[in-house]
Structures are given as C-alpha cells and as structure tokens.
Amino acid sequence: MPRALITGITGQDGQHLAKFLKSKGYDVYGLVAGQANPKIDGIQERLPYVEPLSGDLRDLTSLIAAVEQAQPDEVYNLGAISFVALSFKQPELTAEITGLGVLRVLEAIRIVGGMQNNPIRFYQASSSEMFGKVREVPQNEKTPFHPRSPYGVAKVFGHYTTTNYREAYGLFACSGILFNHEGPLRGPEFVTRKISKAVARIKLGLQEKVAFGDLSTERDWGYAPEYVEAMWLMLQQPEPDDYVIATGETHSGQEFLERAFEHAGIDDWRPYVEFDERNLRPAEVNQLIGDASKAKSKLGWESKVRFEELVRIMVDSDLKAEQAHT
C-alpha cells in the first residue's frame, strides 16, 4: 500500500485529501499539533483510518520523527496559518509556520530520505495570494508574484524553497498554486463560510445580523474536494512541476452573499448585513482569476462545480447543520 503523510490534517483540505487518498488505497498519516488539539476527536470520528502523528511545523525534530514513523511515499504540506486577516495580526507567527514550516518539512524529507535518489514525493500548498497586486489577468504559472499580506509573503518563501529543493537536491517537489476553494468544511472565519453560516442562522431565526468588511474583492472560487485530486495528480506525473488550479471565473464576496440569501429564500439581504471597518485589511487583493490550462492539458484536471452550485452546497450544508442543533 502506498503511504502518505499530510500536515494540516485537521484543516479543510487535509480532511478532503485524507478521504481521497484512502479511496485510492493509501495508508494515511496526519500530523497533529498541540498536546490536546481540540480538533482531533472530530478527525478520529470522521476519518478513523488516519494515523495521527504528533508534530509541529515549528519543530524540525518532530517533523523528522513523523517522517521516520510514517515512511511516506508522498508528503503533502497543507499545514499553515492560512487566514490572511490573522496573518496581519500575527505576521511573525505566519512567517514561522506558513513560510519556515515548508523549509523544515523539506529538511525532514532530505534528512530521512537521504540526499540522492530520494523516493519521497513532496507537495507544497502554494496560493493565489502570492499574485496579490496582479501583474496580468488571468494569472498562470509564469505570472510574477506581488504578495499583499504576511500570508502571501510567507507562501512565496515556501514556493521558492520548494523549487530550490527540486533544483538543488533533485527532490520530486511540486507546488500547487491553488486559487480559493471552499465547501462545508471551510473554517467559519473565512468569508464564504461566514456568509453561508450566517444566512442559514438568519433563515432559521437564530441570528439577526452579520457584519463584513470589503465585499467588493473578487476571487476565483472552486470546490475543495475537487482541488485535492489535483494535488495527488501532480505527484503521479513523471516529472515534478508547478500548476495553477482554478475555475477561470471570478466573483465578488457581494455576489456570494446575494446568491446565498437568494438560495435560502430571503429576497432582500439588506436588513441583515452591516459594514464593520474592523474587518478591513491594511492592504487588499482586488481581484484574482486563474488560468488552469496547464493543469487541464498535463494533469487532465478541470473544475466542475462552479460558483452558483458552490454557494448552494454551502448554504444547504449549513442549513442542515443548524437545523440539527435546534
């Protein structure tokens, strides 16, 4: 059986990827940070086949131990401080985990796997936030980076470090430059999930209002379960490479909000939505839209669930979850 080690197993993508890899016959190991991580119970309930390994992206020794224990064929580095707003509040921690964490995982692979003919394949979760103040529209693998947040800056470091380990040590290391991808497992702090959850609660009379910052920014939003397949496909290719993964469509937060209220059967969203300037960021990324044609031609990957369906999936899921609580 092939073996995979996932960092960020308790996050949205880690859970989808674990499920996907299990369906492909993998033994799945997941790195879990903290001595009593509150998310681990849920993981063991939903994904009982995942073998948890204790470790932290800030601690190289723990990463070496995890790679030694898992003896993985593939390592997926999904762990990060991934919320852009938090990265402005904790930039040093973001650089430490989202940036330097990548270097530490690569070092652990290099040390445990040996320098030459290292059989461990590595996936790095790069991000469209690296494009930031975009230099061209749409963005592809050759578009220069101009990050606009500590998160984006840390991801650029991780991206180039991955390229460097590929070139310097011949490691099979790939970066997936993934544009936003969402779904019912998205953390409630992210705007799409904040909207779907609030809409569900407002519909059920459990909440009166919800406040946002700038909803005019546009993102290329896809469906998370499809995106983890692209990660796996990258590691099955004859040569390591980097790929943009996106839908090729862009929509504003405002559009997401309007579609979500509409789907819940609330015609006018205005009475329920407030502006809160505390949600504004020191620097914003106005619009992102990806060109995933390389992934289509080389990996045979293409997004299927588009914007409207994504909104419906998320609102329906939150309505169901909130109803179950009442």
What residues line the site for ligand NAP (CB under 6 A)? 7-14, 31, 33-34, 37, 39, 56-58, 78-82, 97, 125, 127, 178, 180-181, 187
Complex with ligand NAP: residue 169 or 190, whichever CB lies closer: 190
Distance CA 62, CA 5 (A): 13
Nearer to ligand NAP, 212 or 221 (CB): 221
Sequence-distant (≥ 6) Cβ neighbours of residue 219 within 8 angstroms: 128, 179, 180, 250, 251, 253, 287, 288
Instruction: Give helix 253-263 / helix 191-203 axis angle, nearest 10°.
Output: 30
Count of other CB atoms within 10 angstroms of residue 104: 24
- Whether the CB-CB separation of 251 and 209 falls below 8 Å is answered with no
- CA nearest neighbour of 183 among 40, 11, 4: 11
Residue type, 64: I
Nearer to ligand NAP, 12 or 161 (CB): 12
Placement of tokens 């964490």 in the chain? 101
Cβ pair 300, 234 in contact under 8 A: no
Q: Which residue is nearest to ligand NAP (CB)?
A: 11
Beta carbon of residue 187, minimum distance to ligand NAP (angstroms, whole number)? 5
| Catalytic residue status for 284 | no
| Residue 123 CB, nearest approach to ligand NAP (Å) | 10
Residue 131, Cβ density class (10 Å: 0-12 exposed, 13-18 middle, ≥19 buried): buried
Nearer Cβ to ligand NAP (12/264): 12
Residue 302 tokens read as: 């293409």
Q: How far is the CB of 98 from ligand NAP (least distance, A)?
A: 6
Choose between 106 and 178: whose C-beta lies nearer to ligand NAP: 178
The least distance separating ligand NAP from the CB of residue 203, rounded to whole angstroms, comes to 25
Longest Cα–Cα distance in the chain: 63
Query: Does the annotation count 196 as an active-site position?
Result: no
Within a 10 A sphere around the Cβ of 265, how many other Cβ atoms? Answer: 7
* Nearer to ligand NAP among residue 181 and residue 251 (C-beta): 181
The H or E element that residue 76 is part of is strand 74-77
Minimum Å distance from CB 24 to ligand NAP? 19
255 is catalytic: no
Using the 8-state DSSP alphabet, how is residue 206 labeled? S
Identify the active-site residue in 76, 151, 165, 243.
151
- In terms of CB distance, is 34 or 114 closer to ligand NAP? 34
Distance of CA 54 to the CA centre of its chain: 21
Q: Under DSSP, is residue 41 helix (H, G, I), strand (E, B) or coil?
A: helix
Rounded Cα–Cα distance for residues 175 and 77 (Å)? 10
Instruction: Spot the catalytic one: 62, 127, 128, 149.
Output: 127
The strand pair at 181-182 and 222-223 is best described as parallel
Q: Which of 129, 182, 226, 322 is catalytic?
A: 129
Neighbours of 83 (CB within 10 A): 15
Residues that are catalytic: 127, 129, 151
